[in-house]
Amino acid sequence: MRRTIFYLLLILQLLVISAIGLQYYLIESFGKEITITVSGEDRGSFVDYKDRLTVYPDIQTIPEDTWDVDPENLSYQEKVYVLLAENEDGYYNVQKASTKKMKASEDQVVLPGKYSYQGPYNHDVDYNFEKIPKERHKHVSERKPLVLTLKVAPWGQKRIVEVEQMESSNKN
C-alpha cells in the first residue's frame, strides 16, 4: 500500500514539473502576440538593478476615465482586468479597466494585473512582467523608448518574447 502511494506521488510530482516546464511552450503556441511601448521619457521608466531591468510600460498608467469602477475604492494589490486594443501604429493601448473579467474581441486582449498606485489623474497597475532578465535587454540602451513584444495566453499568463529599441519615427 505504501509503495503504491509512493509511486502515485512520484508520478504526480513528475506531471506537475512537466506542466511547469511546458507552460512556456503552451504560451508560445496559444498566446496572442501584442506589442506595447515604454516611453522612457520619465526617469522612473527604467530601473537597472544587477541582473534585470525593470520597466514601467505605458499601459501601466491608466487614466481615471477608462475605469468601469470608481478607482478611489480600489485596494492595493486588488486584482483588476485591463482591456487593450491595437492603435493605428500597431501598439496596444488601454481601452478599459475593471475589477470584473471582460470579453475581448479578436483585435483586443485582456491582461490581468494588480492595482498598485493612485496618482493625481491616473492609477497604476502592475502586470507582473515588468522585470526583464539581462540576457533579454543587454542590446538596448536605457532611457530610450522601448517596444516590448508579449505573448498573452488565453488563460491570462503572459511572457516577454522580445525587447527592442523604438524607432524615433514610430513613437506614438
Q: Assess if residue 61 is contained within a domain.
A: yes
Q: Assess if residue 10 is contained within a domain.
A: no
Q: For position 168, what pLDDT does the model report?
A: 63
Residue 88 in grid coordinates:
493605428
Tens-binned pLDDT, residue by residue, of the chain (172 aa): 889 999 999 999 999 999 888 888 888 888 899 999 988 665 455 666 667 777 889 999 898 889 988 877 888 899 999 999 999 999 999 999 999 999 988 889 999 999 987 777 788 899 988 888 776 666 666 667 888 999 999 888 888 888 888 776 544 4
Point out which residues pair with 6 in neighbouring strands: none
Q: Assess if residue 124 is contained within a domain.
A: yes
Q: Which domain holds residue 164?
A: 31-170
Length of the chain counted residue by residue: 172
Q: Assess if residue 144 is contained within a domain.
A: yes
Say which amino acid occupies 129: F
Q: For position 171, what pLDDT does the model report?
A: 46
Q: For position 95, what pLDDT does the model report?
A: 95
Q: Assess if residue 86 is contained within a domain.
A: yes
Q: What's the number of domains the chain is made of?
A: 1
Residue 131 in grid coordinates:
522585470
| Rounded Cα–Cα distance for residues 78 and 37 (Å) | 24
Q: Assess if residue 95 is contained within a domain.
A: yes
| Rounded Cα–Cα distance for residues 141 and 163 (Å) | 11
Q: Assess if residue 13 is contained within a domain.
A: no
Helix (H) / strand (E) element for 5: namely helix 2-30
**Three-class SS state of 105:** coil
| Rounded Cα–Cα distance for residues 158 and 148 (Å) | 12
* Residue 159 near residue 24 (C-beta atoms within 8 A): yes
Q: Assess if residue 6 is contained within a domain.
A: no
